[in-house]
Chains A and B, each alone.
Chain A
Amino acid sequence: MIQRISAVLIATVFLLVTIGLAGAGSNGNSRKGKYLYRKTCRACHKEGATGDRVGKPLSPISKTQADWQKVFDEHKNLPCNDQWEKLSEKDLKDIYAYLYGHAFDSPSPAKCK
Chain B
Amino acid sequence: MHEMSIAQRVLDVIEEQALVQGFNRVTQVWLEIGPLAMIDKQALRFSFNAIIGHSCAAGAELTIIDLPGKAVCRQCGLRLEIQQRYTPCPHCKDYSLQVVCGEEMRIKELEVA
Question: Are A and B genuine complex partners?
Answer: no
Chain B residues within 8 Å of A, Cβ to Cβ: none
